[in-house]
Structure 1
């Protein structure tokens, strides 16, 4: 995974700023703990042999889970930081942080999405909510970003609402994952099948319709999340596991800082064929790297989860509004780059610019997760659409 010259290998997407880079396997068929475990060893044994029983109720959730909202808050900070650093990855100080974040931040979000959508069966209430909170926001964000990019860069020449290039891919992925949830509830060995699909997806040319290459690449994390159990979440909170998780995350961060310059970061985008430049890997090497990334993404995601506070706090409230932060922060970043060429001006300042971007990203993310922003944009991104649905 040696890198050729960084400036030669980066391939900007349609929405990415001009110089941006946009780009386990051994998981068995389940990740559930025994309902009444007799000890940690027995829980681990059950973890590798059983699927978590999926509930069949379709009743709306009465109360948000503070633990998951806390997790969403902290990982959303990583999302905004990662996007703010993408144009600075030519510098080792930024490249290490960027690589570390991209190893697990989207696997984490997909994993959590699988857990929260595990009871999707496609009833009317669920379909209405999916249209209001995923389909409509996807179209609004995708089309508006394409128009903004066309204004500044003259491309894309034609609007391509079904070919997401940046933020829209995740909403497209959630739509596809949600619709296929009943399949993963039905088939045998769903986790194994999803891993095989992810591995094979990098061997063939797949059109970017609804970001399908990335959707298939991240599929194992969604299916694993579906078959996660509450007991497993509780097990991650044991102090021995939390200590090991802290050491693992810190160690992986150091490794990324030391060796990220030797790695091709485009692997972390999960959307290219293995033999496509700049990856240029043979079939076996490509399969090995993708399998490695699945394992690392899962392990670091679980390590991150183990350190997330369980109690309700201000991060819980902010974490319940990450949806707005995700949709809106891209507009700010594009404006700063296209209109003010900010990252080109920051690059000469080296590590200072990296620290400045991280600090600014944290401030921006928190501002976009405030109640005022959510109240302002809720009618836009979560319309009621009562006129559209049957009574």
Structure 2
């Protein structure tokens, strides 16, 4: 293996490991969220997670888009994202409309259900790569767009546009990630301890109630006016939150193991956890589990359940059973629809 290939392989291992822990944090955050009003510790842990977990995931997606080009393979990847979105927007909307019945939900393909905005975001991020590769200071330019979208009078949730732009700088940072430079920095004896210290400091801030603002600030899914902030307050707040998230993202990737392990292969299957875990969380809420959960002791239990759930949903057996809808093959779907159109309809018995 040549040096470049070896570096790429090591980078792939790092990001795969990170994806497992990130999807575990996503699962944990979604299990904690229904309890944040009643359990103070759940609120603190949830706040700590949302400070950096979505930006860090966007970073990972940017890394995987390093070789994205407008060729047959690139177009195929976009088609797969569109299929994933169409399938799971239908599944989640139907499940909510007929079973979970969440109040005030708008069922529309133009308004992604819950975390499905990440699919539309991923699609737009890849498309935006083409022009952003050609401009100077792309990350700073994207950050300016992320700050500016909060000033828009339009509904920012349309196709997840607000979130797409808010987290786009982290996607671009992942796209520009240089594993060789990263590994040299990580070899410094104070690098990893400093990263743990930074994550611990963010946790202390979360437990002290710092940055205790509406979750929509961290999710990036609302404009400044909707959040009750003046334009200046909104711009300054989002800029400050970018700094906090950047610290969390950098620290997170410094503490992620770089060696292959059990979590490496599970991390490669994180998309299965991402697209399926919401149904489990919705079911847990629907059957009333949170009505008898009380006390801070439940907070770490819910967080641990997120990790366990990620292990279970990333099992190869789950991947094999659900791959046709989680990782749809555009060509297979085209053939299936062509076959349906070719079936003659007749009243003959």
In the other structure, the counterpart of 1:371 is 316
Contact 1:236 1:305 in 2 (8 A): no
Contact 1:82 1:101 in 2 (8 A): yes
Instruction: Find the aligned partners of 2:311 and 2:167 in 1 and give their Cα distance.
Output: 27
In the other structure, the counterpart of 2:339 is none
Q: 1:249 and 2:163 equivalent?
A: no
Instruction: Find the aligned partners of 1:242 and 1:157 in 2 and give their Cα distance.
Output: 43
Structural mapping, 1:1-391, within 5 Å: 65-90=12-37, 91-132=39-80, 134-151=81-98, 152-153=100-101, 159-207=107-155, 208-238=157-187, 239-260=189-210, 262-276=212-226, 279-338=227-286, 340-346=287-293, 349-386=294-331, 388=334
User: Which deviates further from its counterpart, 258-267 or 167-176?
Assistant: 258-267
Secondary structure of the corresponding residue to residue 140 of structure 2: helix
Instruction: Find the aligned partners of 1:210 and 1:296 in 2 and give their Cα distance.
Output: 26
Contact 1:205 1:273 in 2 (8 A): yes
Residues 293-323 of structure 1: CA distance to partner in whole angstroms, max 9, x if unpaired? 1111111111110011111010101111101
Instruction: Find the aligned partners of 1:260 and 1:354 in 2 and give their Cα distance.
Output: 19
For residue 158 of structure 1, report the CA deviation from its aligned partner. Answer: 7.0
Tell me, which stretches of 5 or more residues in structure 1 are unaligned?
A: 1-54, 56-60
Instruction: Find the aligned partners of 2:221 and 2:102 in 1 and give their Cα distance.
Output: 24
Contact 1:137 1:382 in 2 (8 A): yes
Instruction: Find the aligned partners of 1:257 and 1:236 in 2 and give their Cα distance.
Output: 30
Q: TM-score, normalised by structure 2?
A: 0.87
For residue 190 of structure 1, report the CA deviation from its aligned partner. Answer: 1.3
User: Which deviates further from its counterpart, 191-200 or 78-87?
Assistant: 191-200
Q: In proportion to residue count, which structure has more helix?
A: 2
Contact 2:20 2:310 in 1 (8 A): no
User: Which deviates further from its counterpart, 63-72 or 187-196?
Assistant: 63-72
Tell me, which stretches of 5 or more residues in structure 2 are unaligned?
A: 336-349
Instruction: Find the aligned partners of 1:64 and 1:245 in 2 and give their Cα distance.
Output: 18
Alignment CA distance shift 1:64-1:302 (3 Å):
closer
Alignment CA distance shift 1:229-1:337 (3 Å):
same
Contact 2:93 2:113 in 1 (8 A): no
Residues 131-151 of structure 1: CA distance to partner in whole angstroms, max 9, x if unpaired? 12x111111111111111111
Q: Quick one: higher RCO (CA 8 Å, sep 6+), 1 or 2?
A: 2
For residue 253 of structure 1, report the CA deviation from its aligned partner. Answer: 0.6
